[in-house]
Copies of this chain bind each other. A is one copy, B any other.
């Protein structure tokens, strides 16, 4: 209770039935993701603070993947009885991320339940006078495929049973996403579910083929981890021109059924329940 009072003082807009904020001048971006302990994080390995950070970061990453910037977050938390310390740590991590990403928490809800669960919704926009939000569906044959950095670090750490920095406190690629939008990226998404699966999503949404000829693999990770591991939060983009600082992974082709990796069929990649 004392914690809730301290929290309420840190969240000045909370108190009315709904928060009242300025509408963006550009398009309104909306995204939501939920994390459940035991499903998305093992709290004997990950701290509750890192769990809270990640809950905000995965949503901000969705805004980054549109080339946008985050505006506000709404946070609902389900907490089991007797888990006050974890709850407080979770909010601390979440509010740290909120400060770092410039995405204030303006409302939410707290309720009892059987597993620590954080559901975050974020608003965002694209209002810098540049091109509109980058969807998944605009890639064209001949576009080059790019990623923001080496892949597989989170899967490597997860399989080694340790919470590495990449996995524990992901940094959404906000600057890179905005730069790719300005550069003329035709399709973009974040690699939360692994390169192989997310390449298939981009190709399917855009109606193009994809040929991968180089995969930047994180130090100590395997190609399989780079292709199939999730939780990397790098961005994948299709763009006809160079994206400075990004790594080239392949290109889009005119055959909408083509899915190749260095001459072989592209592995299927992971399965995800996520639908946005």
Contact = CB atoms under 8 A, between A and B. Distances in A.
A187 B248 CA distance: 57
A18 to B, nearest CB: 4
A78 B34 contact: yes
B275 A17 contact: no
Interface in A92-145: 106-115, 117, 119, 121-125, 132-133, 135-137
A28 interface: yes
A43 to B, nearest CB: 14
A45 to B, nearest CB: 18
Contacts of A34: 76-78, 109, 111, 117, 119
A196 interface: no
A133 B18 contact: yes
A77 B273 CA distance: 11
Contacts of A124: 18
Nearest to A59: B18
Interface in A147-189: 188-189
A252 to B, nearest CB: 17
Contact of A23 (B28, B61, B62): B28
A55 B4 CA distance: 23
Nearest to A7: B275
A32 interface: yes
Contacts of A17: 31, 61-63, 65-66, 136, 188-190, 276
B23 A111 contact: no
